[in-house]
Chains A and B, each alone.
Chain A
Amino acid sequence: MKIINLVKSSRRLLGRSSVINLCRHIASQGNTQHHKVLVSKSLNIYENLALEDWLYENTDFNKETILLLWHNSPCVVFGRHQNPWIECNVPYCEKFGVDLVRRKSGGGTVYHDEGNLNCSFMMKQSLYNRRRNLQLVVDALTYKWNTPLSINDRDDILLLDKYKISGTASKLGRNKTYHHFTLLYNVDTLRLKSILHSNLDGTISNATRSIPAPVMNLVDLVPDIDFSSLVNVISERFVEDTESSVVEYVDPADKSAFPGINKHLAELKAWNWIFAKTPPFSISRTFQNEFSRTITFLEVSLDVTKGKIHNLDLKVTPPTMIDSKVFIALSVGMEETQFTLNEISKKLSSVKMEWITSRLYTVETHAILDWTLLCIIETVALHHGRTPSQNTDNNSEKTYLNNNESQATW
């Protein structure tokens, strides 16, 4: 009753719109927000990110703040504006069933497996505070296990002030936001290191780059940490001091609980989202070989925009080694080809057929023309079994002097 009188009198003093703003302000100051913890039962990264998307779209964040927790089977998750071919070994992942995923938040590439807890703090934008979320987790873990954790200026959580155990990313909409981060407690760090390594040379790109950091697992210091103990410790901390709280186990495949979730799932699994959203990039390589006792250089360059090849350009030195019609047929034939091994191989085969019918591919030229095709395959580096390059320099000027050894791996 007192409050009503107060609101009435303050309305006279401040005007109606100011009172509404004042009440909103008071509401946001107290712990009137409903805090909900959702733990996903799914181990599928696409399903879990679809659930996060669904919650982001369908939750009234003026009423509640959500903490979504999950872990999933092996996958590589890269940031919204990253290039998967530069960030990780795409052919290796495809061969060994490691899911490749583009998330909607910014930041760098991470490797997940079941030994990694994902925490997503979802709330209205006025409450957005990455530091507070990270501190909550650090406090919860330190309280329970006395772990020596710190947070650096990149919002990474460090163990022993040195080893990264958590990488952060966030998405900000007009009124709502989420901040999610990884928490490595028992991941296969050997696999992590071998996967987060590009097998592509000679790229130029404006895409967001990841910053590699030494990593460590929490179990190396606290052997009894596992998924359920982490979920319990973090959930308890998140819901304490709030008037109402819930911890709920959910299944993202439950279409009655999450109507329309399949739309989000289909989007996240689409090649057009995972790969074609890659910011435009270029690849440029130089190869060397010997034909008829003449040392021959071949420069291959191409652009990839929206997941498709454009402007394939080839230059041979000395120029007399290959008929210019050969290159014209290649450039025209490869334009707009999807940047996948399957599509590129198909197009190269049809170009070869064209060479044969136009009598460019002959007994005299077949060796150098087959080598040209191999150089293109080597440039796009989409085939399995290619030895990852030891050189991580992405300078466009760099020349890759090819030899018969690297061809032999194909």
Chain B
Amino acid sequence: MLRLDALSRRFGDTVAVSELSLEAEPGQILSLLGPSGCGKTTTLRMVAGFETPSSGRVWLDGRDVTRLGAQQRGMGMVFQNYALFPHLDVWENVAFGLLARGEARRDAAPRVERVLELVELPGYGKRRVQELSGGQQQRVALARALAPEPPVLLLDEPLSNLDAALRERTRTELRALLKRLGMTAIFVTHDQEEAFALSDRVALLHQGHLQQVGTPEALYTAPANPFVASFLGRANFLLATLDPAGSSHARLAGGAVWPVRTATDAPMQPGSAATVMVRPEALRLLPPGSELAPADLQGCLVDRRFAGAMSFYRVQVGDRELLVQGGPADAAPGDAVWVRPREGAVILVFPGDAS
């Protein structure tokens, strides 16, 4: 099991990673997700042993490896640009880790063949790495990292150099392969969709701080703070006042009353100012002539964007603009419209003006 304990990394005055504590269970795929500069790559490099933490510890299977160099840790790593050795052929690349620890070539050979079969490149041993396509190079990099059977596999944006169609297929295959091997993996990405598709758990980082860690569903449906809510998918934020009688309802600026759930552990005073977060798919536009309810919010339609299976509507409500998924096809810009939360929709409140 891999455990990070209050890991920090400072570069001069800037704090790249701050007091990060995380665990990766055996056989689990954990994503480090966040915008560029959030500290995810620095974290991965501290785990790999390329970067020395300013403070904190890295534990691997109960052993403190913080002071060990990369070569002693033996974590497998797949680099963003693959970092294949350009002067060696595919076989030599894949065998590198086995030969480095003193294995004889003929002992390494069957294992190299097996790993190449695993990544569906059997018989590619004699190819030069430059002759391979991007996708094939990516798989050689994976095979090279897997060959020495590392306890943990680290992947630094391994799919970002592939084109869109290939990327989607590769991530499905990659997840299947890692699951089949029961490999513990840490995967760095800035792409939310990729993190969701690949990982069992996602750790979202922002400005060096861990925002939230959990399953993709948990992060999407119960974001711990507005940053998590807006980074994962699309989110609308509206100013509101909590119901004086409790915190299960909030009154919006326009007078509509919505059922809400509190998102954070922070206690919220009944009657206090709050921010409501609602996702576009939790809202719909009412057809003209509908019977109105207390939850309905009046606004003015700015435009409609057709997106195949559904349409997106931008609605001006007071000084805010709401994104709404679904509504009548004949609504035209400039129309006065009503927005209603869908049945059972999750609407969260955060304390204060959090937008």
Real binding pair: no
